[in-house]
Structure 1
Amino acid sequence: MPPQKRIFQKDILEAAANLVAQQGPQALSVRSLARAMGCSTQPIYSAFESMDALHTALIDYVREHYLRAQASSYKQVALSFLNFARSQKNLFRLVYLRQRPAGETLFEDPNAEETIRQLQASLELGREKATELHRRMVYYCYSMAVMMATGYLEFSEEEIDRELTEDYRIVLSYYKQVKSEEELQHWLYRSRNLLG
């Protein structure tokens, strides 16, 4: 009898992400996962004490492998997120369109710390204001992503670019208390590295 292949947590999480991506979050069960992996349920239960533990680890896995942006700008992070919503609708639903227990963070953003730091530096904002500005932009971006992931509305690349730019101009004007177009252009220029 040939030796059994050892199954690691990362193998289970990768298979679970593939299963959800192909069939949707509702398809995920220990049995369906074992069937997809060609193994018994035993290795899955050995790696994860419960379905809840597997589910939590899977959400963390998706955040790290699909959502942590290796982007060069603030806008690129948003475009990466929107592309995830468009191309990985089922994984988006798993992470963002689920019932959450009381007290759980409503929006997971693995790029938040770096983004806030860049906003502080480019816009001369304190941490609190930079965090608020980012949160507002997240709301705009999240609403577009939900529309794309649920099939409610599709955006062209040009529409996405235009919407993100316009939303940023509006939010920037508010948080910098811009009084003129000239002043707005100054802050847009200062944040050009964020918009590239």
Structure 2
Amino acid sequence: MPRTKQIEKEDILRAATEIIRQKGEGALTVRSIAGELGCSTQPLYYEFENVEQLRAALLPYVREHYLQFRCSNYKEFGRHFLNFARQEKELFRFVYLRRRAPGETLLDDINFDETIRLLSQNLEMDPETARRMHHQMQYRCYGMGVMLATDYCELTEAQIEAELTEFYIIILRHYKGITDDAQLQYWLGRSRHLIL
């Protein structure tokens, strides 16, 4: 007797992600996932009580597989996030353009603590100021990500690089109280390896 195909939780989440990527969140149903897997709906109900439970499990799955990245410098955080918005528009919409649960964070940034340490150390600022500065960059990236994912604008990788550099200079001026170009050049030099 042939062995029945086993459908694992990971298979279901992968299939659900693919449906969102290709057709958008509106196409996500138990039947569409079963169709993607080539099975009945029974294995899905074995793993998840309902579609809401599946969606809740899908958020951390997408974050882990598409939004967790190790960055070698400060600018890379924004670069990865904006490229995700540009290249995976439907997944971006699923993760970020939805009503949030109370206390849910704006952005997933596994490098947050290290980023704050590096900004604080390289820019000679207290961690709280570095945190506020980084939040400004996160907010800017989120706004640009929404525009990219909703086709409000198109940006090439070179344009993304220029936007990130320009905004870094703006927030650097503000949080360091820079008033002239000589000071700006000094602090840009101190943080050059963070924004390459």
1:135-164 per-position Cα deviation (integer Å, ceiling 9, x unaligned): 100111111111111111111222211111
C-alpha distance in structure 1 between counterparts of 2:141 and 2:51, whole Å? 31
Residues 167-186 of structure 1 aligned to structure 2 (within 5 Å): 167-186=167-186
What is the distance in 2 between the residues matched to 1:9 and 1:123? 45
Is 1:96 aligned to 2:96, yes or no?
Answer: yes
CA contact (8 A) 1:129 1:175 kept: yes
Does the CA-based 8 Å contact 1:63-1:110 persist in structure 2?
Answer: no
CA distance in 2, matches of 1:87, 1:187: 33
Q: Where do 5+ consecutive residues of structure 2 fail to align?
A: none
Give the conservation status (yes or no) of the 8 Å contact 1:67–1:110: no
Query: Which residue does the alignment assign to 1:109?
Result: 109
1:34-53 alignment, distance < 5 Å = 34-53=34-53
**Could you tell me how far apart the structure 2 residues matched to 1:123 and 1:19 are?**
44
Q: 1:64·1:110 contact (CA, 8 Å) conserved in 2?
A: no
| 1:167 Cα offset (Å) | 0.3
1:191 aligns to 2:191 (yes or no): yes
Q: CA deviation at 1:51?
A: 2.0
Check if 1:75 corresponds to 2:67.
Answer: no
How far apart are 1:102 and its partner, in Å? 3.9
Offset, 1:169: 0.5
Deviations along 1:91-148, one digit per CA (max 9) or x if unpaired, are 0000011122344333333432332232222222222211111110011111111111
One-letter amino acid matched to 2:119: L
Matched, 1:30 2:30: yes
Asked if the contact 1:92–1:149 (Cα under 8 Å) also holds between the matched residues in 2, the reply is yes
Deviation of 1:175 (Å): 1.0
Task: Give the letter for the 1:13 counterpart.
Answer: L
Of stretches 13-22 and 67-76 in structure 1, the one that deviates more from structure 2 is: 67-76
Alignment-derived partner of residue 21 in structure 2: 21
Q: Distance in 2 between matches of 1:25 and 1:113?
A: 32
Stretch deviating more after TM superposition (77-86 or 93-102): 93-102
Contact 1:178–1:184 (8 Å) recurs in 2: yes
- Matched residues, number: 196
Write the letter of the residue equivalent to 1:3.
Answer: R
Partner of 1:146: 146
In 1: Cα distance, 2:117 partner to 2:56 partner: 28
CA gap 1:112/1:45 in 2 versus in 1, 3 angstroms = farther
The one-letter amino acid of 1:16's match is A
Q: Determine the structure 2 residue equivalent to 1:125.
A: 125
- Cross-structure match for 1:155: 155
TM-score by length of 2: 0.92
Shift of 1:192: 1.3
State the TM-score, normalizing by the size of structure 1.
Answer: 0.92
C-alpha change, 1:113 and 1:11, in structure 2 (3 Å) is: farther
Is the 8 Å Cα contact of residues 70 and 111 (structure 2) preserved in structure 1?
no
* CA-atom RMSD in angstroms: 1.6
Deviates more, 1:56-65 or 1:110-119: 110-119
Distance, in Å, in 2 between the alignment partners of 1:30 and 1:110 is: 31
Structure 1, unaligned runs of 5 or more: none
